[in-house]
Amino acid sequence: MAAALVGGSPTARAQQAPRVTDPALTDPGYAARKLRQFQATTPAQPAPGTVRRSINPPGTPLPACFEPLDKTTYTPVPRNDDGSLGPIALGFDFFLFGTAYNSVYINTNGNITFDAPFSGFVPAGFPIATPMIAAFWNDVDTRTPATGTRGQAWYRLYNDRLVVTWDSVGRFPTLTDFKNTFQIKLFANAGGALAEDVQFAYGDMQWATATGGSVGGFGGPGTTVGVNEGGGGGRFIQTGRFALDGNAYVDNTSDSGVDYLDYKCIGFRVFNAGNQPPAVSGL
């Protein structure tokens, strides 16, 4: 949350215990309505097994920037669809384009927000009104317990950073034929001296979209990747929109192939308005 928020001191509000905010818990008809909408707007999906994509290609290690996920020290985000966990007190200030925040919400749909939880599952291109850090904003669904300890989001808070990892997550509605693994790191950046204060890291990215015309994980509204100031400001950095199979990258607004993200590290400097363009490694 921003340090200037009204309605309680920043310290008091940051110390609230994190809780799950899930529209399906407060609205009994939410899940059924969403599924009906999906069925009405989405063509028939390929039969299971007729489309195959790589799963953890042998010999392909995670990039060096990908912080190992130790599930004995990380906290799981409860399984949900369109839910959030927060506020999570950072213990440090994180400056996003000049605004200081000291707590965050981890949203299942591949992003982090600051002022409030965010349940939006149809991605839009930046800029938007919500301050957001989005490694992979699309309709992630972690409700399938059959995936064991995988297929959900995990986080760990350090003295100088927050690490959130989406581990082999599927897409709506509880589809786990293809899985994505990616990570967001937010660094304490009050001094403004860091070369990169946000990092995205990717493993094998097997699906690009989930709703609004997606067939087999492709097509429909493209996944948004980037950082967005929100509020009254219009600053943002958008790495791309990803809706297609393959690794072809067009530009940061047109539909590109999700495999462009495979095993990459993308770093941003967002401390103030003089941010640097994103740095990409693993090409």
pTM of the model: 0.90
Write the pLDDT tens digit of every residue in 53-93: 776 676 788 999 999 999 999 999 999 999 999 999 999 99
Write the pLDDT tens digit of every residue in 112-167: 999 999 999 999 999 999 999 999 999 999 999 887 889 999 999 999 999 999 99
For 181, phi and psi rounded to 5 degrees? -125, 125
CA distances from 13 to 2, 57, 77, 102 (A): 10, 44, 20, 10
Write the pLDDT tens digit of every residue in 206-227: 999 998 888 899 998 999 999 9
Sequence-distant (≥ 6) Cβ neighbours of residue 183 within 8 angstroms: 66, 67, 135, 163, 164, 165, 166, 199, 200, 201, 202
Rounded to whole angstroms, how far apart are CA atoms 123 and 136? Answer: 9
Hey, which residues does 175 pair with through a beta bridge? 171
Q: Is 12 strand, coil or helix?
A: helix
DSSP state of 61: P
The percent of residues above 90 in pLDDT, for the chain, comes to: 74
